[in-house]
Structures are given as C-alpha cells and as structure tokens.
Structure 1
Amino acid sequence: MREKTNCLKSIIGLVLILLNVGLFAQQKKNYDKKMQTDFINEAIDQWHGLAAVGDTSYFDFFAEDSFYLGTDAKEVWTLQEFKAFANPYFLRGSAWNFKTKGRDIFIGEYGHYAWFHEKLDTWMGYCRGTGVLEKQGDEWKLKHYSLTVLIPNSKIKEYVNSIKD
C-alpha cells in the first residue's frame, strides 16, 4: 500500500511540475509577445519620424520584396518603385508627417509575422495604415503597407460624386 501511495505522490508531483513548466512557458510567451509588440510599436513610430525629417533610412525598415500601396488605385509599388516615387519628397527635407492617433499590433502564434493597423492624422485628413511585418533574424521588416484615406460614411455620396469621370 505504501508503494502505491509513493507512486501516486510521484505522479501527482510530476503532473504539478509539468503544469508549472507549461504555465511558465505561457507566461514567458506572453512576456515575449508584449516585449515584441512594444518593440514593433516603437519601430513604426521611428519609421514615421524618419519620413517627417526626410531621412532616407526610412526605407531600411522595408523588406527587399515588400510592397507599398498608396491612396491612388495605381499606387502599387515594389520597394524600388516606391523609393523612386518618394525620393523627391525626401530630398526636400521632409517627405510627409503622419501623426499616429492609435495603433493595434498583433503577433502570429510562432512570432515570425506581425500585422497592425493604425489611424494617422495626415495632410489628407485621417488615414488608416495597415501593415504586415516579418521577423528576419533579430529585426522586423515591413513586407506590406497600405495607406487609405478615411471617409466618414456621411460623406460617401459627396466623395463618390467628386471622383466620377
């Protein structure tokens, strides 16, 4: 009987250890996610800041095979195409100055990808930026960014009429 009791205690002890390891791993994962989210948030803020002062290291945040989608339907650019378009704006000392009014960041289960959406105050009024990032080594690189002008529903008819051919 004593052997069964000792065996049962050992099994219960092992189960408790495994549960604690699992909880620790989950807490570490949550901590890592929070740390990565904070890091990404800061990186995006710095990225926008580089455009505001015309610093071409702005383009270093992009992955080599990235795409930037502008507000015009024709603006679907590879990184090289976007650089060619944006370079004159950067040469004048300030490309554009987007002020972040809110941002949500999400990280994939395995931590290789993240995506975000943000509300921006721009010279065009409020816009929404959406992006996808890929973890490349120790860095997050922007794979896809889309900028959209936000139009209040109450102004849609007026907007539609203004762009009719």
Structure 2
Amino acid sequence: MKKLFASLFLLLCAGAACAQNALSDDAFRQRVHGFVDQWHADAARADSVYFDKMAPAGVYIGTDKSEIWTREEFRAWAKPFFDRKKAWAFTAIKRNVYFSPDKKYAWFDEQLNTQMGICQASGVIHHSADGFQIEHYQLSLAVPNPLMDKFTKAIAEFEAQPVPAK
C-alpha cells in the first residue's frame, strides 16, 4: 500500500512539474510578447528608450537594402523622427515566439500593421539577469505573390536608373 501511495505521489508530482514547466514556458512567451509590444509602442511615442532595448551590438535591418544598422547607426538615422516626436507605429497582428531550453534566447516572427501596410519581421532577443535586449531585428514588406512580377520589375527599373550626383 505504501508503494502504491508513493507511486501515486511521484506521478502527481511529475504531472505538476510538467504543468508548472508548461506554465513557465507560457509565462516566458507572454513576457516576450509584452517586451516586443512595448518596444513597438516606444517607437510610436518616439521615446528614446526604444534604442536602449536593443543590445549594444544589436542589428536592425529595414526594408531598403541599404538599411543594415547597428544600434547607434539606427539611433542616428532615426533621430529626425524621434526629434519631431513622431516615429513609426507598428502593431502586431500575429506573432510566433520560440526560445532556447534555458530561456537565454528567444526568437520570433511577426506580422505587423504599419504605415507601409502589412509588414513581416523577425527578431532575436537575449534574456539575461538585466532583462531582454534585441540582438537582431529584420523588417520586410509583405508583397502578395500575384503582385510579385510587377514589384520586381519596378525594382529592376528603379535600380537601372543612373545614381544622381551628390
């Protein structure tokens, strides 16, 4: 009888541990969602804390092929927007969050409602005792497949034009 109770106790404890781990994973995932949502909200308010949420060696890749910036390069590029207190407003429509078993890294993909229409993005976040920091973020336009031929033709025509003198 003692063995039966001991076995049941261990089984219940194992089940509780699994449930707790699942809740812990869900809670972590929700913290990532909250962090990224707040990061986007910081940009919409043109709050410079936006850049502090990026790692010092973090990279931001924008929609133009020339837009590959370190955090400080991105801060300098965005300064005119932040100075006028109106930057960009990205609102997540859908986001998938994944993370390493030790929860030191999380990565996500998201669809966003933006002033450019629907965009897609992906990012990598480092989680430390100091909190979350974005290590890498890439924003891209979501081009519907039926428009791709026209879109790529327009890009090719644009890139074939002579570069204006500075």
In which range does the TM-score fall when normalised by the shorter chain?
A: 0.7 to 0.9
Structure 2 spans left out of the alignment, 5+ residues: 161-166
**Any residues of structure 2 matched to 1:43-54 within 5 Å, and which?**
43-54=35-46
What do the CA deviations read for 1:120-144 (whole angstroms, capped 9, x no partner)? 1112111101111111115121111
Q: Report the counterpart of residue 145 of structure 1 in structure 2.
A: 137
**Any residues of structure 2 matched to 1:88-99 within 5 Å, and which?**
88-99=80-91
Q: Percent identity?
A: 34
- C-alpha separation in 2, matches of 1:42 and 1:142: 13
Q: Report the counterpart of residue 123 of structure 1 in structure 2.
A: 115
The Cα of 1:163 is off from its aligned counterpart by: 0.7
Secondary structure of 1:95 counterpart: coil
Q: Report the counterpart of residue 24 of structure 2 in structure 1.
A: 32
The one-letter code sitting in structure 2 at the alignment partner of 1:21 is C
TM-score by length of 1: 0.87
- C-alpha separation in 2, matches of 1:138 and 1:23: 32
Q: Count matched residues.
A: 157
The Cα of 1:157 is off from its aligned counterpart by: 0.4
What do the CA deviations read for 1:72-108 (whole angstroms, capped 9, x no partner)? 1221111111111111111111111112211111222
- C-alpha separation in 2, matches of 1:19 and 1:80: 53
The Cα of 1:119 is off from its aligned counterpart by: 0.8
Q: Report the counterpart of residue 82 of structure 1 in structure 2.
A: 74
The Cα of 1:58 is off from its aligned counterpart by: 0.7
Q: Report the counterpart of residue 109 of structure 1 in structure 2.
A: 101
The one-letter code sitting in structure 1 at the alignment partner of 2:40 is H
The CA RMSD over aligned residues, in Å, is 1.7
The Cα of 1:24 is off from its aligned counterpart by: 2.1
Structure 1 spans left out of the alignment, 5+ residues: 1-5
- C-alpha separation in 1, matches of 2:34 and 2:65: 29
Secondary structure of 1:73 counterpart: coil
The Cα of 1:13 is off from its aligned counterpart by: 4.9
